[in-house]
Amino acid sequence: MYIELTPSPSFRPEPVMPPPGPKGDVLARLRSKEEQMFLKWNVVMNPSELLRGIAANRENSRALFHGLRRQIRAIRRRSQAYRDGQVTIFDLVLVRLFDAGHTMQDYGLFEFYLAEFLGTRDCVSNADANRVVAAHLAAQRILDDGPIDELPTVKTANVQDEELTSTQNSTSTRYSEDVKPPHLDNLIRVYEKAKDDNHKVGTTHSHNERSNSVRFLRDTAENLLRYLKTVDEDHELIPELNDVVKSSQARAEELAGGRKRKFEHERRSPSMSPYRPTGYTYEYDHRTGRGGYVKDGWDHSRVSETWNRASDSYRPRYALRRH
């Protein structure tokens, strides 16, 4: 299913060179993190079960798109310059993803919107995510059409959708005929850029710059490896990617002071990485101040598993927000 909208020109001004000094360094880091985040979400190949459930219903997908479009309009009414303090990295990445394409097959745009703007990243169960999304869809439908009789529902399991089946069949046919997957070049391009950027980062760079660089390389290498193992297990890049994933994981852990990502411990949260078992998520009890991993049957956004907002994020720290 497609939802088309005539592209609107981006109102973001042409980039200018940051002024010298600490403030200029902060602006440069913000733009670098924005670019990394955009590249990461722009190459999402597969929708999550949650997004599939929304797309299976025409009214729900329409409401989701209208909510996204309202968010875009609100962002564009503000100054697009970081120094004015009216937008965040997440705002500008959402606008860039929207400008790059906004049909229901632009999965990265909608996964990013669900995870970062509706907050499904923080949901600990399938039912919790469904409630969050259903409330949002209801609000959008009320804004569009007035009062509604009942809350919309989102099905995320056993979705039997003819369009999805047709898409899967056509994808399988393309791969069986040895036709090159359409997004493979883009994935490889992002991986090569991450590798080059990581090689350029030396000991003279700050600890945060080195950490961000190696984590970006780790994430893009894992993403490309996962994709190649799905479509072409004999691809010539796979041996190199296996080595890069292992070395970048070790380096990222070293720069983090020996701390691993939550899902890399003995009991792990859901993930799509070929190196991580699935089936657990982290729950925190605010009353006791304790947390732990519990069994979870929900498959979260397929991009978000490699990215923990609290300790493994490209989001700027609070100190940067003062600039």
In 158-206, which ranges are continuous DSSP H helix? 162-176, 184-200
Distance between CA atoms of 85 and 30, rounded to whole angstroms?
12
Q: What is the dihedral of CA 20, 26, 28, 29, to 10 degrees?
A: 150
Q: For the chain, how are helix, strand and coil distributed in percent, rounded to 5?
A: 55, 5, 40
| Residue 179 confidence (pLDDT) | 46
Angle at 130 between CA 129 and CA 135, to 5 degrees: 105
Per-residue burial over 208-227, b if 16 or more Cβ lie within 10 Å, else e, is: eebbbbbbbbbbbbbbbbbb
What residue segments make up the domains of the chain, in order of their start? 1-156, 180-259
CB 224 within 8 A of CB 260: no
Give per-residue pLDDT as tens, 112-142. 999 999 999 888 888 888 889 988 998 888 8
Tokens representing 169? 């069949």
CB 293 within 8 A of CB 281: yes
| Residue 205 confidence (pLDDT) | 75
Pairing status of strand 290-295 against strand 280-285: antiparallel
Phi then psi for 218, rounded to 5 degrees?
-60, -45
Task: Give 3's Cβ-side CA count (13 Å radius).
Answer: 22
SS3 178: coil
| Residue 285 confidence (pLDDT) | 54
Distance between CA atoms of 202 and 210, rounded to whole angstroms?
7
Distance between CA atoms of 44 and 317, rounded to whole angstroms?
26
Tokens representing 321? 């927000």
First to last CA, the chain: 43
SS3 160: coil
| Residue 213 confidence (pLDDT) | 85
Give per-residue pLDDT as tens, 289-303. 555 555 554 444 444
| Residue 3 confidence (pLDDT) | 52
pLDDT < 50: residue spans in the chain: 1-2, 4-11, 14, 157-168, 170-179, 266-278, 282, 284, 297-323
